[in-house]
């Protein structure tokens, strides 16, 4: 779905407490979360504006978002244990 919000708290609502705790206590996690959410917002804006960039560029942005999301999810799950 175009323009869908994939922010970290929307993607993993069951880990909200862990995400908020890590954001406060881990500067690296906080920076990566900020980058992830900014990238997600950039993709949403582009999608809502008819994707005014090349398909390969959009694909790369989405790939980068997915890779960052996977990394963050691993860190969230590890911290939840």
Q: Provide the pLDDT for residue 79.
A: 93
Helices 16-25 & 27-48 angle (0-180, nearest 10):
120
> What phi, psi does 54 have (nearest 5°)?
-65, 150
Distance CA 11, CA 6 (A): 6
Q: Provide the pLDDT for residue 81.
A: 80
Q: Please count the CA atoms within 13 angstroms of the CA of 76 that sit on its side-chain side.
A: 22
Convert the pLDDT of each residue in 19-54 to its tens digit. 999 999 999 999 999 999 999 999 999 888 877 788
Distance CA 52, CA 37 (A): 20
């Amino acid at each position: 779905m175009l323009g869908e919000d994939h922010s970290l708290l929307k993607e993993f609502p069951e880990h909200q407490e862990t995400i908020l705790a890590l954001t406060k206590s881990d500067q690296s996690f906080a920076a990566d979360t900020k980058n992830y959410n900014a990238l997600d917002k950039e993709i949403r804006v582009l999608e809502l504006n008819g994707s005014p960039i090349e398909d390969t560029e959009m694909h790369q942005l989405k790939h980068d978002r997915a890779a960052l999301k996977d990394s963050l999810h691993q860190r969230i799950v590890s911290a939840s244990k």
